[in-house]
Amino acid sequence: MTAVVFTLGQLAEQLGATLRGAAHTPVSGLATLQEAGPEQLSFLANPQYRKFLAASRAAAVLLAPADADAEGYSGAALIVADPYLAYAQLSHLFDRKPKALPGVHSTALVAANAQVDASASVGAFAVIESGAQIGANVSIGAHCFIGARSVLGEGGWLAPRVTLYHDVRIGRRVVIQSGAVIGGEGFGFANQQGVWQKIAQLGGVTIGDDVEIGANTTIDRGALADTLIGNGVKLDNQIMIAHNVQIGDHTAMAGCVGISGSTTIGRNCMIAGGVGMVGHIQVCDGVFVTGMTMVTRSISEPGAYSSGTAMQPAAEWRKSAARLRHLDDLARRLQQLEKRLATASQSPVNG
Amino acid sequence: MTAVVFTLGQLAEQLGATLRGAAHTPVSGLATLQEAGPEQLSFLANPQYRKFLAASRAAAVLLAPADADAEGYSGAALIVADPYLAYAQLSHLFDRKPKALPGVHSTALVAANAQVDASASVGAFAVIESGAQIGANVSIGAHCFIGARSVLGEGGWLAPRVTLYHDVRIGRRVVIQSGAVIGGEGFGFANQQGVWQKIAQLGGVTIGDDVEIGANTTIDRGALADTLIGNGVKLDNQIMIAHNVQIGDHTAMAGCVGISGSTTIGRNCMIAGGVGMVGHIQVCDGVFVTGMTMVTRSISEPGAYSSGTAMQPAAEWRKSAARLRHLDDLARRLQQLEKRLATASQSPVNG
Amino acid sequence: MTAVVFTLGQLAEQLGATLRGAAHTPVSGLATLQEAGPEQLSFLANPQYRKFLAASRAAAVLLAPADADAEGYSGAALIVADPYLAYAQLSHLFDRKPKALPGVHSTALVAANAQVDASASVGAFAVIESGAQIGANVSIGAHCFIGARSVLGEGGWLAPRVTLYHDVRIGRRVVIQSGAVIGGEGFGFANQQGVWQKIAQLGGVTIGDDVEIGANTTIDRGALADTLIGNGVKLDNQIMIAHNVQIGDHTAMAGCVGISGSTTIGRNCMIAGGVGMVGHIQVCDGVFVTGMTMVTRSISEPGAYSSGTAMQPAAEWRKSAARLRHLDDLARRLQQLEKRLATASQSPVNG
């Protein structure tokens, strides 16, 4: 595979950027300021990396106007309003991810009454069940399983080995990484004298447009109605979304988050890694939950919420943790002292 | 796929319920009180939903005798001792999960000396290795791998893409969701001057009857003896069960729980989401562990145990957390004050 | 499959151990002191199991010199400097894990320009993409996917159903359990007025020699440069390694750990189960992080670090947790008391 090469001029045009430097300079890739070589484009998004700008060997740097004018760097630049966003946009030009050709691989199994658009690609050993619908320009990797009546909207990309159970409805341009399982049977049981009786999970999963689902993430089907994932939602790896959860548009979750059943999360929330949420609560729009927090009740005000405890040297932590077990006692003793002093201050001795 | 339709009379008979209303009323599905339409059956199990009863459009409602007699609802009802259990039982009638036909798919690979019951179903691209035994009415999904000498008892159901390594013994009517891995090699290493030397994992996994294993859950094989999962155990998604763990009958675990090696958990326990347990401990029967708790020692008394910290607004939490780091100092200062006051109260001044 | 049988003499020779007992005694397996039968070898590594030594029915016991000479056990023994390490070494003799024969299974798909060593084994329905290189004596399980240009060094072992995306470079003797995903697209997005824009992940993953990767563990590819896993690193199940993480040689991580993007971890660290680390921090060599700790900042001193809170009975914990929310207030009140007493002690009353 030969490297793709663009000129600085082409990239400037693509971005609508102001070009400072020679338009014909070749660019064959992207790299950080420290690591970029003379054929690589770099970017300055985080001010803490400004110190690496002067010494960078990059062919050019994506810069905000203020940084381009600042002292200390007069090298080639593509000047844009938001260098990080410009980097995101250009990154796709240099992606070496293989692009599958349209058509169904000879080893794939497509049910007679499934519909696969002629522009879609279906990989080796993939299985597409009865009544499924695969839209235009969809790419389905090897070993994927698309259950009965499931729908994948146009432009979707499934890595190898993704499972969609039956009755999973997915919008357009949705990306799903390897090992993800969508539509598994939610954890529903009725207890009959100590024995758990399974409740069939009759709902499906409905996923909006432009959603990304990470490797080995699981989204269970609903018990009665569907589990719902809004437009533009981004889910990292190893996330667990239980049955009948609803996630609002453009909410992002980092790895290892677990959301219990029937919880509703608003739009434009950010949920950091390792957060857990109990079931049947409502989280409003615009909430940021920091790492490893346990969300035990509904949140009705936008803002940041936490309960993750930061590490200490173990010897120090052991002392804090031992005291924590007796915190109620400690608080009561403090109250006692306060009372005694209050009494004392009213006594003639202090008068 | 046409919807299944029953009459209220048929459902009453199936449950042994008292019918209030017209026996010929058609029922084509189940729904919550708020969402049910005129052909759907609903149920009232949680008193907090009682307020939705009067306005429900449901064809009928599964009700406990007390709720059926209460004021405010005189509509059609199936009166049963435990409406939630009745809902669980009826749910299976309306499940649209595809049922596989008996037989081995033409693309599946079954070793010559594996035994597959004639009533079992083996899906596309499944691999069944030497000496494996598949019982009556088992359903094995596409892309499953059944390792050498592994046994799957009658009535089991494996979603697409489940891995059983070799020497995994599974009882009857066990359900395993997609992505689960049973019998992976446990994490066993001996440290030789800073270098980890692998210990072969010689045990297998033994799983009882009526067990459910969630999507992407992993259960490692034993180091010497088997890892043991009792009858009726229910494991949600993304659970990690390490080598030589033993789980007693009818214990249930919610998502993202991790149990370290050689820990033994009793019967009828409930382990909430995100709980972690250290290795080599014993947890007795009837223990309930709340969400995100770290279980660091054996539990010998039934009851509820916790250490998960509930979230606060981040600004408040930051203050609490900062103080937590100095809690030992704070406790010492309190002791100091107590001593000083004790001395003071013995002094003539206060006498 | 007939059991493998060795004699005590053979095992002594293999280990270079001192044999006490009859060299011709047959040994067909390994077991704990309590469970060993008369054809099984056992070992004493942890002093707390010494009490089981006298009554053990084992054919012989791997013992350190001190334990062999101690009172109370005069039975057969293999005397070695490190019995646990000796057990690790012998364990592989008794492993019943099926060994695949060299060759490409007739159903596997190998791209025309991929290189597969003649001594390698490629399982059923495996897919090996363009430009991939598979070394000598590699074993690739059924349903594995090896992406374009990925490299697997000699002696590697992949369980069934492992995904390597494109441009993943893996060293020699690497073991990967089922469900692992190496090279998935990292979680990189630029926020454009509330909408997340995907950043193509242009880097790959580079993994050293003698690495072990557990079931359903995910290691994301780098955003620009590669994600790096050193030699001898051992990762348990369900671990999440984000893009551009670097892990030093011989570091071990237990299950359910999550490491955020661009964090660097040193050599010979031990990270216990459920630990989370934020992104962009540096952890030095020789750090031990205890279970469920949240690592929120760089660590520059070797040693143990913690923040996991141990469980209490729920009723007690509820009290502690309630006080924890008001800990800042409590600390201020303590300060108040201290001030008042300091003032009081300077007053004439106490003078």
**Minimal Cα–Cα distance from B77 to chain A, Å?**
19
User: Cβ separation of B310 and C321 shorter than 8 Å?
Assistant: yes
Whether the predicted pLDDT of B46 surpasses 50: yes
Residue C212, chain B, CB below 8 Å: the answer is: yes
Quick one: pLDDT at residue A339? 87
Residue C163 structure tokens: 């995904």
Residue from A144, A292, A296 to probe the interface with C (highest C Cβ count within 10 Å): A292
In B, minimum Cα distance to C99 occurs at: B148
Residue B311, chain C, CB below 8 Å: the answer is: no
* All residues at 6 or more sequence positions from A336 whose CB lies less than 8 Å from its CB, including other chains: none
Q: Are C148 and C167 in contact (CB under 8 A)?
A: yes
Of A237-241, A319-323, C7-11, C103-107, minimum mean pLDDT range: A319-323
In A, minimum Cα distance to C348 occurs at: A350
How much of chain C is helix, strand and coil, in % rounded to 5? 20, 30, 55
Of the candidates C29, C85, C178, which has its C-beta nearest B190's C-beta? C85
**Minimal Cα–Cα distance from C266 to chain A, Å?**
17
Quick one: pLDDT at residue A346? 65
From the list A324, A322, A283, the residue with the least C-alpha distance to A304 is: A283
Quick one: pLDDT at residue A225? 95
Of A34-48, A58-72, A245-259, B193-207, minimum mean pLDDT range: A58-72
Residue from C15, C178, C181, C309 to probe the interface with B (highest B Cβ count within 10 Å): C178
Q: Taking the mean position of all CA atoms in its chain, how far away is CA A152?
A: 20
Q: Are B59 and B35 in contact (CB under 8 A)?
A: no
Q: pLDDT by residue (tens digit) across C224-240? A: 999 999 999 999 999 99
Quick one: pLDDT at residue C351? 37
Residue B82, chain A, CB below 8 Å: the answer is: yes
Quick one: pLDDT at residue B186? 87
pLDDT mean across residues, chain C = 94
User: Cβ separation of A92 and C200 shorter than 8 Å?
Assistant: yes
Q: pLDDT by residue (tens digit) across C298-347? A: 999 999 999 999 999 999 999 988 899 889 998 999 988 888 888 776 65
**Minimal Cα–Cα distance from C99 to chain B, Å?**
11
Residue A242, chain B, CB below 8 Å: the answer is: yes
Helix spans in B78-211 (H): 83-91
Question: B-chain residues within 8 Å CB-CB of A347?
Answer: 350
**Minimal Cα–Cα distance from A313 to chain C, Å?**
4
Question: B-chain residues within 8 Å CB-CB of A182?
Answer: none
Residue C148, chain A, CB below 8 Å: the answer is: yes
First-to-last CA distance in chain C?
Answer: 91
* All residues at 6 or more sequence positions from C265 whose CB lies less than 8 Å from its CB, including other chains: C245, C246, C247, C248, C251, C259, C271, C277, C283, C287
**Minimal Cα–Cα distance from C197 to chain A, Å?**
7
How far lies C154's CA from each of A190, C151, C166, C174, in Å?
A: 51, 10, 18, 9
Whether the predicted pLDDT of C1 surpasses 80: no
Q: Are C189 and C225 in contact (CB under 8 A)?
A: no
Question: A-chain residues within 8 Å CB-CB of B307?
Answer: none
Contacts 24+ apart (CB under 8 A), A56-61: A58/A31, A58/A33, A59/A8, A59/A25, A59/A26, A59/A27, A60/A8, A60/A20, A60/A21, A60/A25, A60/A27, A61/A33
Dmax over CA atoms of chain A, in Å, equals: 99
The C-alpha atoms of residue C25 and residue C58 are separated, in whole angstroms, by: 11
Whether the predicted pLDDT of C350 surpasses 50: no
Q: pLDDT by residue (tens digit) across A122-154? A: 999 999 999 999 999 999 999 999 999 999 999
Active site residue B24: no
Residue A349 carries which DSSP code?
Answer: G
How far lies A33's CA from each of A45, A48, C225, in Å?
A: 11, 12, 12
User: Cβ separation of B163 and C175 shorter than 8 Å?
Assistant: no
Q: pLDDT by residue (tens digit) across B228-263? A: 999 999 999 999 999 999 999 999 999 999 999 999
Q: pLDDT by residue (tens digit) across B49-102? A: 999 999 999 999 999 999 988 777 889 999 999 999 999 999 999 999 999 999
Quick one: pLDDT at residue B70? 77
From the list C208, B310, C194, B156, the residue with the least C-alpha distance to A307 is: B310
Q: DSSP 3-state assignment of A341?
A: helix
Quick one: pLDDT at residue C345? 66
**Cβ count within 10 A of residue C262:** 19
Residue A155 structure tokens: 């432009």
Which position among C24, C92, C166, C243 bears the catalytic label? C243
- State the catalytic residues of A: 243
Beta bridge partner(s), residue C169 = C151, C206
Structure confidence at residue B351 as a pLDDT band (50, 70, 90): very low
Strands A282-283, A303-306: pairing is unpaired
Quick one: pLDDT at residue B255? 98
Q: pLDDT by residue (tens digit) across A166-207? A: 999 999 999 999 999 999 998 999 999 999 999 999 999 999
Quick one: pLDDT at residue B350? 45
Of A228-232, A330-334, B35-39, minimum mean pLDDT range: A330-334
> Please, is A16 exposed, middle or buried when counting C-beta atoms within 10 Å of its C-beta (0-12, 13-18, 19+)?
exposed
CA atoms B256, B260, B262, B265: torsion sign = negative
Structure confidence at residue A68 as a pLDDT band (50, 70, 90): confident
Question: B-chain residues within 8 Å CB-CB of A334?
Answer: 334
Residue B280, chain C, CB below 8 Å: the answer is: no
Residue A336 carries which DSSP code?
Answer: H
CA within 13 Å, CB half, B91 = 26
List chains adjacent to chain A, taking adjacency as at least 3 C-beta pairs closer than 8 Å.
B, C
- Percentage of the residues of chain A whose pLDDT score is greater than 90: 85
Q: pLDDT by residue (tens digit) across B287-322? A: 999 999 999 999 999 999 999 999 999 999 999 889
- Percentage of the residues of chain A whose pLDDT score is greater than 70: 97
**Minimal Cα–Cα distance from B253 to chain A, Å?**
10
| CA quadruple B3, B9, B14, B15: dihedral, nearest 10 | 110
Residue C49 carries which DSSP code?
Answer: G
Whether the predicted pLDDT of B223 surpasses 60: yes
**What element of type H or E holds C288?**
strand C287-289
Q: What is the mean pLDDT of residues B328-338?
A: 89
Whether the predicted pLDDT of A350 surpasses 50: no
| A307 residue type, one letter | S
Q: What is the DSSP string of A156-169?
A: -EE-SS-EE-SSEE
Quick one: pLDDT at residue C153? 98
Question: A-chain residues within 8 Å CB-CB of C330?
Answer: 330-331, 334
- Percentage of the residues of chain C whose pLDDT score is greater than 70: 97
Q: Please identify among residues 104-133 of chain A the ones whose CB lies closer than 8 Å to any CB of chain B.
A: 109, 125, 127, 129-131
In C, minimum Cα distance to B300 occurs at: C313
Q: Radius of gyration over alpha carbons of chain B, in Å?
A: 27
Quick one: pLDDT at residue C346? 65
The C-alpha atoms of residue A247 and residue C209 are separated, in whole angstroms, by: 41
Q: Are B117 and B133 in contact (CB under 8 A)?
A: no
pLDDT mean across residues, chain A = 94
CA within 13 Å, CB half, B291 = 20
Structure confidence at residue A351 as a pLDDT band (50, 70, 90): very low
Q: What is the mean pLDDT of residues C156-181?
A: 98
Q: pLDDT by residue (tens digit) across C87-124? A: 999 999 999 999 999 999 999 999 999 999 999 999 99
Question: A-chain residues within 8 Å CB-CB of B238?
Answer: 216, 218, 238, 240, 258
The C-alpha atoms of residue C107 and residue C97 are separated, in whole angstroms, by: 22
Q: Are C206 and C227 in contact (CB under 8 A)?
A: yes
Residue A332, chain B, CB below 8 Å: the answer is: no
Residue C348, chain A, CB below 8 Å: the answer is: no
Residue from B256, B337, B350 to probe the interface with A (highest A Cβ count within 10 Å): B256
User: Cβ separation of A215 and C127 shorter than 8 Å?
Assistant: no
Tell me the ipTM for this assembly.
0.95
List chains adjacent to chain C, taking adjacency as at least 3 C-beta pairs closer than 8 Å.
A, B
Quick one: pLDDT at residue C2? 57
